[in-house]
Amino acid sequence: SDPPVPFLAYADSMSLGRILHDKLRGLCEVPLLQTTYESDLADALHAMARQGFGLAWLPHTLVEPDLRNGTLVRADGARNDIHMEIRLYQSVGNTKPLAREVWSRIEAYAAK
């Protein structure tokens, strides 16, 4: 059999760790992965992947420059991508000036 693939994992306590665990459980053909490094931060996993320490699922926006210049390559095309949405919420009753200012700036940025 093939040797295990070094895997750079998100901590199980992180949302991304749980999302990835669910994705791997749903795959028909999962390579044998051996966790060699674990972090709460995508940036840390990215740095380890760039240094050749293993396979990592990373946000596309984080690795896009590496994909363009050939520092990193996609391990399995798009079929194992995980699509997700991140949404921002605030309390309707939050009247603090700083919270209103932050929310206004976010809305202005999103409208661009």
Residues 31-58 have pLDDT tens digits of 688 999 999 999 999 999 999 999 999 9
pLDDT score, position 85 = 81
Are the beta carbons of 48 and 8 closer than 8 angstroms?
yes
> To the nearest whole percent, how much of the chain has pLDDT over 90?
44
pLDDT score, position 110 = 85
Whole-model pTM: value is 0.74
Comparing CA positions, the residue from 35, 34, 41 lying closest to residue 13 is: 41
Conformational region of residue 87, where left means phi above 0, alpha means psi within -120 to 50, and beta covers everything else: beta
Domain locations in the chain?
5-69
Residues of the chain whose pLDDT is less than 50? none
Are the beta carbons of 9 and 20 closer than 8 angstroms?
yes
Structure tokens at 65: 């420059």
Instruction: Kindly report the length of the chain.
Output: 112
